[in-house]
Amino acid sequence: MQKLEIEFWCHIMIGAGHVVYTDQFYELARLVPYLATPENKRIERYIYGLAPQIHAMVAAIEPATIQSAILKDRMLTDEAIRNEALKIAEKRGNNGEPSRDGMVGPKVVNPLNARNLTAARGACFECGGTDHYKATCPRLNQAPRLGGNHPNQVMAIEGGQRHGNNGNQAHRRLL
């Protein structure tokens, strides 16, 4: 309920959208009627939220009913649009311009640097060949080394106990 009260007090006309402003004003006045119960309070609140160019002119007229305030607002807003004093609030959208919708990703400027992604078809991640996987790739020099795998060179030279890889055994990975 407090959100509706705040929205009612902060409700203003944006650009030349007097129809939208009036519709939303009526909706909010229905939801929080105690904020706009006397007619003069409703008129005062309606005039307060108008565009600054229109606000002063409608307030100077001092309308007696809400209908007369809305009528004067509509006439003055239409006149201001014709004189280009007010601009019609346009919807923010694509408008045919992809760089204006805020959802534009980076463009590929240089297709020479783009990789041929053959990995999705079951290919080698290293060279892109489709006849093997990375584990058996001929580009990688995976010949078994003499003496096994020595992660700690000091232990390998001194003939350590080789606890680094438990004798070059393969380890499983737990997921």
Q: Which two tokens stand for residue 98?
A: 């992809």
The contacts of residue 66 (CB under 8 Å, 6+ apart) are 39, 42, 43, 46
Confidence of residue 98 (pLDDT cuts 50, 70, 90): low
Could you read off the pLDDT of 28-64 as tens digits, one per residue? Answer: 888 888 887 788 888 888 888 888 878 888 888 888 8
Distance CA 5, CA 41 (A): 14
Could you read off the pLDDT of 143-161 as tens digits, one per residue? Answer: 555 555 555 565 555 555 5
Confidence of residue 89 (pLDDT cuts 50, 70, 90): low
pTM score, whole prediction: 0.46
Distance CA 3, CA 11 (A): 12
Distance CA 18, CA 49 (A): 10
Distance CA 44, CA 105 (A): 48
Q: Which two tokens stand for residue 14?
A: 């944006």
